[in-house]
Amino acid sequence: MSQWTSSNKYGKSLFQRVFGGYGELLSIKGTARYAIGAVIASMPFPMVGMCITISVQNIYGSYTLAGTLSAVQAISLAILTPIFGKLIDRFGQTRVSIPIVCAWIVAAVILMTCIQLRTPEWILYCIVPFMACIPPWGAMSRARWTYLLKNSEKSSEKINRAMGFSSILDEAMWMIGNPLSSILAVISGVLSFSVTGICVIVGAVLFLGVRSAEPPNQSDMARELGVTRKEYRTQLAAKAAQLSGQNSGHNLSDSQRDDVENNSIFSVGYIAICATWFGLGAFQSATGISIIAFAKEQHVQSFTGFVFACFSASALVGATLYGAKDWRIALWKRFYFCIVVVALGLSSFIFAHNIGVIMLTYLIVGVCQSPIWINGNQIILHLVPPARFTEAVAIMGAMNSIGGSVGNSIAGYFIDLYGSHGGFITVSVLAVLAVIISLTGMKQIREATLKPMLTSVEV
């Protein structure tokens, strides 16, 4: 009996150590509602491309048209997301998100109707860009966590845990969204678009309904101080640069002084992060298309979805465990370790002879996938004030998407020439280039992470 009690206590202790921190975050009023709302509202990210592809192919009978329309939507998303992020930081999450959501719903209804009526193709090309009218819910959710936790005890550890929790929900979204959209779209394109639209409305209501967690926007802060938005951003950049320069304006570097004068978030460190995100998107997307080609050559196409599910599941576990731990290892070291592990792991696919090896490697390497994003979001907090966090994260996401498009194009070309082996060689080259790109910014990233986060910067 005593042995069982001891074991039970140990189990509770282990459970508490791993998940207790997440429970503490969700105990804050409104956090569970907006965190879940952000995930539900983000369902268009994994679902829209699949909805368009399957629905258009079924009605028009053209994979080329379906793929091109999906690419147009993805490119539009990469262009519009940073713009939406900047507007949200300037005018507020609720004020900007509502018209964007309304535009998406109208576009979805029109596109669905046009596909069913088999209208001329040029009409679809005119409508599809509006399907990219999706607020950056993930970035907004992370901005809320930062706002709520910045003045709490052990704020750095709690923000790390919150970023980890956000990544857990992101991975769950992709694991659910991809298969759900494909199943629904095969049944009915109308059904697939309808379910996606319901997710958008329900998620937006849940998220935007928690007004107490919404960070103050630049317009309101500037009005409160009696200055213009431009003057407010300039003063904010000066305060951030002083903090980065160890609270002394005389210690500012030339690049920091330029940032203040130009009122820009594009410091050398931030540019290095964006370039790294481009490289990550390139070699990871190239990996996906190469695996599809490999599975087709091995006549195991039915296992492809399971392979990607292994990676998502592993990333989900990685996010859970990583966010639960209070790390003592320097942030920049963790960041580079995870990038190198993922790059080496995916590069090893060039030696794989069956889908099982790829699946096993994905399971091992995937644990480091989410921590890359968690670390990247934390590094941004050392480089950019919270008042411009949404914009900064949105630009990072856009760079990752653009990199993914480039990686897919390059890998697709070499797959057509040399089969999946050519694709995996492309992955290896792109992975090495991504690591080199990230290392070029190591000095700036290391210096930034050794200084305080800019969560407390105020004008």
Q: Residue 39: CB partners within 8 Å, gap ≥ 6? A: 137, 169, 170, 172, 173, 203
**Would you say 457 and 292 are in contact if contact means Cβ atoms under 8 Å apart?**
no
- DSSP letter string, 179-207: HHHHHHHHH-HHHHHHHHHHHHHHHHHHH
55 Rama class: left (phi>0) / alpha (psi -120 to 50) / beta: alpha
Q: Which residues contact 345 (CB under 8 A, 6 or more apart)?
A: 361, 364, 365, 368
Cα(400)–Cα(392) distance, integer angstroms: 13
> Average pLDDT in the 175-179 region?
71
pTM of the model: 0.73
Q: Tell me the pLDDT band of 96, cut-offs 50, 70 and 90.
A: very high
Residue 339 has pLDDT above 80, yes or no: yes
**Domain, as residue range, for 232:** 218-262
**Domain for residue 300, yes or no?**
yes
- Which H or E run includes 309? helix 304-324
The answer on 352 and 210 residing in a single domain is no
Residue 1 DSSP label: -
Q: Rounded to whole angstroms, what are the CA distances from 343 to 184, 232, 331, 432?
A: 34, 41, 19, 7
pLDDT digit string (tens) for 406-426?
A: 887 788 788 888 888 888 999
Does the residue 89 lie in any domain?
yes
What is d(CA 78, CA 82) in angstroms, rounded to the nearest whole number? 7
- Greater pLDDT, 358 or 385: 358
Residue that terminates a domain, selected from 262, 287, 317: 262
Q: Are residues 209 and 275 in the same domain?
A: no
- Token pair for 296: 């087709």
Number of domains the chain contains: 3
Which of 7-16, 306-315, 352-361 is the least confident region?
7-16
DSSP classification of residue 216: P
250 and 166 co-located in one domain: no
Residue 17 lies in a domain: no
| pLDDT computed for residue 249 by the predictor | 45
Q: What string of DSSP letters covers 143-173?
A: HHHHHHHTTSTTHHHHHHHHHHHHHHHHHHH
- Are 54 and 138 members of one domain? yes
Cα 370–Cα 205–Cα 385 angle in degrees, nearest 5:
50
Asked if residue 90 lies in contact with residue 166, where contact means CB atoms within 8 angstroms, the answer is no
CA angle 273, 274, 275 (to 5 degrees): 90
In terms of domains, do 211 and 229 share one?
Answer: no
Q: Is residue 22 part of a domain?
A: no
* Domain-located, residue 207: yes
Query: What count of other Cβ atoms lies within 10 Å of the Cβ of residue 424?
Result: 28
| Contact by Cβ (8 Å): 322, 341 | no
Asked if residue 407 lies in contact with residue 282, where contact means CB atoms within 8 angstroms, the answer is yes
Note whether 232 and 345 are same-domain residues: no
Do both 254 and 400 map to the same domain?
no
Q: Which one is predicted more confidently, 173 or 278?
A: 278
One domain, residues 272 and 420:
yes
- With beta carbons less than 8 A apart as the criterion, state whether 399 and 280 touch: no
**DSSP-H helix ranges across 42-188:** 44-60, 63-91, 93-117, 121-127, 137-149, 155-187
What's the rounded Cα separation, in Å, for the pair 200 and 43?
7
What type of residue sits at position 14?
A: L
112 and 209 assigned to the same domain: yes
pLDDT (0 to 100) of residue 248: 43
Rounded to an integer, what distance in angstroms lies between the CA atom of residue 237 and that of residue 240?
5
Query: By C-alpha distance, which of 414, 390, 367 is closest to 91?
Result: 390
Mean pLDDT of the chain: 80
Token couple for 337? 């370790």
Residue 13 lies in a domain: no
For residues 299 and 415, membership in a common domain is answered with: yes
d(CA 325, CA 161): 8
Give pLDDT, residue 182.
66
Domain C-terminal end among 198, 215, 232? 215
Residue 375, token pair as written in the block: 């670390």
Cα separation, 272 vs 283, in Å, equals 17
CA-CA distance, 257 to 249, in Å (whole number)?
A: 9
Statement to judge: residues 78 and 160 lie in one domain: yes
Residue 315 and residue 247 share a domain: no
pLDDT band at 340, cuts 50/70/90? Answer: very high
The answer to the question of residue 26 being in a domain is no
Domain of 99, CATH number, reads 1.20.1250.20
Find the Cα–Cα–Cα–Cα dihedral 22, 154, 220, 141, rounded to 10°.
-20
- Read off the pLDDT of residues 256-278 as tens digits, 9 standing for 90 and up: 555 544 556 777 788 888 888 99
Please give the average per-residue pLDDT across 314-333, as a whole number: 82
Distance, CA of 276 to CA of 254 (rounded, Å): 23
C-alpha dist (Å) from residue 345 to 85, 99, 184, 316, 342: 33, 43, 33, 17, 5
Tell me, yes or no, whether 3 lies in a domain: no
pLDDT of res. 246: 43
Over residues 360-382, the pLDDT tens digits come to: 988 888 888 888 888 888 888 88
